[in-house]
Structure 1
Amino acid sequence: MDSDSPSPRSESQTDPLLRDPFDELCHDLSSLQDLASCGAWRSVIDKVSRARALSLLHKPHDHLTYLAFNALAFTKLRRFNEASAELDSMEDLDSAHYRYETYPKIYPNRVGSMVPFSLRWLHALIPIKLGQRQQGMDRLYRLLDFVREKIKDKENSNLSVSLGMWRKREVFVVNCVIGHHLSHKEFGACLSLMKELLSRDSSDPILISQLGYMQLQIGDLEGAKVSFMKVENEGKNHGSLSEVEYQNLVNRNKALVYMVGKDYVSAVREYEECIERDSTDVVAVNNKALSLMYLRDLSDSIKVLENALERVPTVALNETIVVNLCSMYELAYVNHSDIKRTLSSWIARVAPDDFDSTCTRT
């Protein structure tokens, strides 16, 4: 929930023993962050509603931060019209009302925008979710321009810590744009954006791997092999990855090439190496199960996914794994409806608020 310029913590000036308990919750934003991190999005909405009803938000950045949490919660719950209404309640994001220097008595010696970056991202995302794709894509590209302007400013100011944060945001926004282009098979735009990122950091193993995934999607197997080999050959540069993360990335890249070539036995071997290093590598878990399914070993493929859900539910419980598991149930069992209902009951007990329970198809 970082703003474009970090917001100071807001503290009550009254004696702690006289504070309203809601006031304590309101200004301790870590409570909202804790709820968000565990997927308790309905509780986030309730907390924001109570804070507003009790007029506990006094400073401009308080209102913006709580609005950001609220809009994000609505988005996570797929209540896009309500998220849009939150955003529509704001003025232009670059309005003077949302700048620190407009309130010198509240924020002495502070300048810049207090708008959380998450609000700028949601401002672009929500139109796409509401079927207004062109408006959303236009906003995403404007957000990318905004981020790149910030990067230039930080480079000129030699603010290395802040520069790193904005570079991560650039990659995040580019990946959002690429994702939407991919969903419409606009591969030329995707490759152009990724190569632009790589022109500034040609050795980042994650970016090079993403280029390889795109090449696979457009049928350029040889190009993907070249990209994946580059990741493996430049092993000394892990970028932001740990040694285990890097090695697993290399194995997953190899496995994808094997899967495209329908060599599922070799793919399973690569994924097993990943899982031995890191049992929470759910991409490897999911793809190992798929490879086993393609080998017509439904029993073992089901065991792989069930064991992952039992062992690391907070990591493995996502819609892709559940959809795949339910598909395997349908192929393997006559009484698959009963089995899926049991799975649905378990999911209802442990899943975060934003989990899409319809993925079980019960």
Structure 2
Amino acid sequence: GASYSSLILGPAPDLTYHGALSCTISICSTTFSSCPLPDIGVGSQVPGPNCSILVATGRSSPTEEFSGDAVKDLMLRFLGEQAAVKRQVLNASSVEQSFVGLKQLINSKNWRAAVDLCGRLLTAHGQGYGKNGLPTNHTTDSLQLWFVRLALLVKLNLFQNAELEFEPFGNLDQPDLYYEYYPHVYPGRKGSMVPFSMRILHAELEQYLGNPQESLDRLHSMKTICTKILENLEQGLAEDGSMTNITQENTQASVELWRSRLGRVMYSMANCLLMMKDYVLAVDAYHTVIKYYPEQEPQLLSGIGRIFLQIGDIKTAEKYFQDVEKMSQKWDGLQYQIMVLMNRAFLHLGQNNFAEAHRAFTEILRIDPANAVANNNAAVCLLYLGKLKDSLRQLEGMVQQDPKHYLHESVLFNLTTMYELESSRSMQKKQALLEAVAVKEGDSFNTQCLKLG
């Protein structure tokens, strides 16, 4: 049966289900989430060693197809074939067989279909299904497709599959992953063809496979390379340390790019340390990130405060939240105002002061009626205040008013938990939610939140 403790309270509506304040904290804006969806078309290169021995090592191919639709499977089971047949979602065959079609599948949350389309597009590059172990030539496009496919596998929590498909790439530094290996295709270009985000993904993957120390080691190597490149640039040299005659303007652009990348590596290290529950080092690392992303300072300090809340250090959390409030001279506007109120609300939650927390979340909703985090948490506060009916009304109102925005997995998880607390008709109510999900959600929807068994 359901219990209050299984409800999701927390800073982001997409937290994993860990009860009260969940351990996955939304530290920054979505730009820096731990596994961002790929930005198709942006290949960011890391210069690497000179490739004196040019031997083909790229023998990669997708391992299998991943099509499937858990929502449709549940519909067949609970609502029958007639209802299931009405569910229309895009698949790998119903979109243009190109990056355009891929973007369409990703934007409509049909990530399984997107994984399969990547497989098909890689076939056009001679790297399709069943080609593993055969020599192949990489291009910037084929590596971009690999990155998208691997990022989607991680996003779908298919970590073992991602590991298997990463394997042929080794440490991402084989000679055939460099422009110099293809002088006729990329005359005069130097350095690695591997997108920087793919290197981050390769490093982060290990922590999801239970090897966080390996993730940290890989990220540390990336940090060393980024730091060395920045040193070279600041001495007026090229990224690889050779003499250069590029303009001051271009050098400055390179410095900014590599500073941003170093910040991104530090952010991943901080997330990994947080996952390892090494809070002292994690907080240090988040402080370092502020140096590279000063515009994210209020979000990062708020996130650090929430870490202290989670480990029960209310005093230190309050100090961080006060630091954010003191920045009002430097930061103003609606987003900042909401952040301050959100911090206050979470502080009240940490003190089990649900009435005050509810007031703060309600204040946020007055300013920003569509705020899903405030709505979800306000409803849970009502439940803890013994107002189950009001709580249900608030969550149901959200979902009915704007299903596209609010059919969020943690909101639905809370709603189904409340149905179990409230009604013997919880099964029918859950099935009604399944019907709403079927209209709006793609093939990557996590059906576990509906608790249909």
Identity of aligned residues (%): 28
Q: Helix, strand or coil for the counterpart of 1:355?
A: coil
Residues 76 and 354 of structure 1 are in contact (CA less than 8 Å); yes or no, is this contact kept in structure 2?
Answer: no
Q: 2:283 aligns with which of 181, 184, 191?
A: 191
Distance in structure 1 (CA, Å) of the matches to 2:357 and 2:229:
42
**Once the two structures are superposed, what CA deviation does each residue of 1:61-104 show, in whole Å capped at 9, x if it has no partner?**
11101111111222223322322222112243123322224333
Cα gap change, 1:352 to 1:280, in 2 (>3 Å): farther
Give the conservation status (yes or no) of the 8 Å contact 1:265–1:291: yes
TM-score (norm 2): 0.66
Instruction: Choose which of 406, 424, 442 in structure 2 pairs with 1:334.
Output: 424
User: TM-score, normalized by length of structure 1?
Assistant: 0.81
| Other-structure match for 1:236 | 329
**1:174-185 equivalences in 2 (<5 Å):** 174-185=266-277
Work out which of the residue numbers 217, 239, 243 in structure 2 matches 1:138: 217
Secondary structure of residue in 2 paired with 1:89: helix
Check the 8 A contact 1:77/1:353 in 2, yes or no. Answer: no
Q: Secondary structure at the match of 2:352?
A: coil
Contact 2:207 2:214 in 1 (8 A): yes
Q: Is the 8 A contact 2:302 2:320 kept in 1?
A: yes
Where structure 1 has 5 or more consecutive residues not aligned to the other structure, the ranges are 7-21
Are 2:205 and 2:215, in contact at CA under 8 Å, matched by a contact in 1? yes
Tell me if 1:81 matches 2:174.
Answer: no
Give the structure with the larger helix fraction.
1
Structure number with greater CO (CA < 8 Å, separation at least 6) is 2
**CA deviation vs aligned residue, 1:146-198 (integer Å, no higher than 9, x gap):** 45555556666665555555555545444443344334432122122123334
The partner residue of 1:301 within 391, 395, 399 is 391
Match of 2:192 in 1: 113
The one-letter amino acid paired with 1:34 is: Q
Code of the aligned partner of 2:175: A
Question: Counterpart of 1:234 in 2: which secondary structure?
Answer: helix
Q: Deviations over 1:91-149 (max 9, x none)?
A: 43123322224333322343332212332122123333333343233323434444555
Counterpart CA distance in 2 for 1:142 and 1:38 is 36
Residues 302, 321 of structure 2: 8 Å contact kept? yes
Instruction: Decide whether aligned partners of structure 1 residues 25 and 337 sit closer, same or farther in structure 2, where only a CA change above 3 A counts.
Output: closer
Partner of 2:303: 210
d(CA) in 2 for partners of 1:82, 1:345:
31
**Paired AA for residue 315 in structure 2:** E
Mark the runs of 5 or more structure 2 residues left unpaired by the alignment. Answer: 1-38, 47-92, 128-136, 237-248
Match of 2:111 in 1: 41
Q: How big is each residue's C-alpha offset from its partner over 1:242-271, in whole Å with a ceiling of 9 and x where there is no partner? A: 822111101101111122223322222221
Match of 1:110, SS state, is: coil
Change (3 A) 1:156 1:299: farther
1:221 and 1:143 map into 2 onto residues whose CA distance is 35
Aligned-residue offset at 1:211: 1.7
2:142 is matched with which residue: 63, 80, 87?
63
- Please state how far the C-alpha of 1:233 moved relative to its aligned partner: 1.6
- For the 8 Å contact 1:318–1:355, the answer to whether it is kept is no
- 2:439 counterpart of 1:360: no
Within the alignment, does 1:223 sit opposite 2:302 as a pair? no
Residue 50 of structure 1: how far off its partner (Å): 2.3
Tell me how far apart the structure 2 counterparts of residues 243 and 227 of structure 1 sit (CA, whole Å): 20
Given the superposition, is the C-alpha separation of residues 31 and 285 from structure 1 closer, same or farther in structure 2, using an over 3 Å criterion?
same
Give the residue type in structure 2 aligned to 1:186: D
Structure 1 stretch displaced more, 62-71 or 229-238: 229-238
Distance 1:4 1:320, change over 3 A: same
- In 2, distance between residues paired with 1:183 and 1:290? 26
CA contact (8 A) 1:208 1:231 kept: yes
State the match for 1:10 in structure 2.
none
Q: Match for 2:319: what amino acid?
A: V
RMSD between superposed Cα atoms in Å: 3.1
Contact 1:4 1:112 in 2 (8 A): no
1:14 is matched with none
Across the two proteins, how many residue pairs are aligned to each other?
A: 342
